[in-house]
Amino acid sequence: MARTMIQFLNMAKKETKEDEFNLNTEEMAQSGLHFGHRVSRVHPKMEPYLYGIRNSVHIIDLEKTKDKFKEALKFIQKLISENKVLLFVGTKIQAKGLVKNVATECALPYVIERWLGGTFTNFETIKKRIEYFKDLEKKKAGGELEKYTKKERAKIDQELKDLEIKFGGIKNLSQLPDAIFVLDMKKEALAAKEAREKGVKVIGISDTNTDPTLADFPIPANDDAISSLKYILEKVKEVILKSKPKSR
């Protein structure tokens, strides 16, 4: 590697601490955004974003991460300020809780279980299932299910649990979102593919083993470490909450 990691971190310390979105490469390095996958797993289209190799693992150039992250945050800022909808997609185990918390705090939809094929490309059918789910919830809350036997109610309760897992995060989604934020471009490839097919913009964390061109706004970064995901999601949450139109 042309420059050592110590030199890299020293350079990061010399940069201006804050920018428009308070992005800082030293903090990114501390959160592990720069650690990619083993060199044997690199996607050729990620090469422009690579800094070097350390212990057979690719290191992502955090200056480039910072630039691309800024572009993504500017897009999110504009999107939210125009009262448009961003859907979070993160189904990997270590990301589920983070995604749900951030999306809930921002009052935005999310998918944290398996992406259902056709969620976008067959949205009208999905919408009917969501309406059925909401109607069932309403009936239960209103005591309309009391007329059924204990066994029948248990069966309905199980159905409600299954529907909550599938549609809980998108039950208030009445139309396709304007953009999706994908935490793992490889794992959520189907979500990205459906979004592009329907003209929904894709913002995605792109690790060294993924194709960054699948996203309209790729963020070159580690998509496995919880510290990396937390750093990125916290910045996204910050921008969303600041950009929401003030209610009158």
State pLDDT tens for residues 97-153: 999 999 999 999 999 999 999 999 999 999 999 999 999 999 888 888 888 888 998
Are 66 and 131 in the same domain?
no
More confident residue, 243 or 140: 243
Of 133, 168, 203, the position where a domain reaches its end is 168
Highest-scoring range by mean pLDDT, 13-27, 34-48, 227-241: 227-241
Are 87 and 208 in the same domain?
yes
Structure-derived torsion over alpha carbons of residues 98, 100, 101, 103, reported in degrees to the nearest 10: 110
Are 180 and 156 in the same domain?
no
Determine the pLDDT at residue 64.
96
Of 105, 139, 168, the position where a domain reaches its end is 168
Are 109 and 183 in the same domain?
yes
Would 48 be classed as within a structural domain? Answer: yes
Number of folded domains in the chain? Answer: 2
Are 142 and 226 in the same domain?
no
> Comparing C-alpha atoms, which of 208, 200, 226 is closest to residue 87?
200
Least confident range from 9-18, 63-72, 167-176, 191-200: namely 9-18
**Averaged over 163-187, what is the pLDDT?**
95
C-alpha 22/C-alpha 188 separation (Å) is 28
Determine the pLDDT at residue 16.
44
The total of other beta-carbon atoms located within 10 Å of residue 141's CB is 9
Position 2 confidence tier, pLDDT thresholds 50, 70, 90 = very low
Position 10 confidence tier, pLDDT thresholds 50, 70, 90 = low
Structure-derived torsion over alpha carbons of residues 120, 165, 172, 227, reported in degrees to the nearest 10: -80
pLDDT at 8 over 80: no
Are 163 and 60 in the same domain?
no
Domain CATH code at residue 235 = 3.40.50.10490
Would 239 be classed as within a structural domain? Answer: yes
Q: What is the DSSP string of 58-96?
A: EEE-HHHHHHHHHHHHHHHHHHHHTT--EEEE--SHHHH
Are 95 and 57 in the same domain?
yes
Would 17 be classed as within a structural domain? Answer: yes
Position 215 confidence tier, pLDDT thresholds 50, 70, 90 = very high
pLDDT at 11 over 60: no
Would 12 be classed as within a structural domain? Answer: yes
Average pLDDT of every residue of the chain? 91
Of 134, 149, 168, the position where a domain reaches its end is 168
Are 106 and 191 in the same domain?
yes
Where do the H-state alpha helices sit in 82-167? Answer: 93-105, 123-141, 150-167
Would 96 be classed as within a structural domain? Answer: yes
Long-range contacts formed by 175-179: CB under 8 A, 24+ apart: 175/123, 176/120, 176/123, 176/200, 177/84, 177/85, 177/86, 177/87, 177/109, 178/79, 178/84, 178/85, 178/86, 179/75, 179/76, 179/79, 179/84, 179/85, 179/86, 179/87, 179/203
**Averaged over 20-34, what is the pLDDT?**
93
**Averaged over 173-178, what is the pLDDT?**
96
Determine the pLDDT at residue 18.
46
pLDDT at 245 over 60: yes
Determine the pLDDT at residue 1.
46
In 3-state terms the chain splits into helix, strand, coil percentages (rounded to 5) of 55, 15, 35
C-alpha 25/C-alpha 46 separation (Å) is 19
| Token pair listed for 242 | 């600041």
Are 35 and 111 in the same domain?
yes
Are 107 and 137 in the same domain?
no
Would 248 be classed as within a structural domain? Answer: no
Would 222 be classed as within a structural domain? Answer: yes
Domain span at 142: 124-168
Could you tell me the strand order of the sheet in which 179-182 lies? 110-111, 86-89, 179-182, 201-206, 217-220
Are 52 and 100 in the same domain?
yes
Determine the pLDDT at residue 17.
42
Are 135 and 217 in the same domain?
no
Would 14 be classed as within a structural domain? Answer: yes
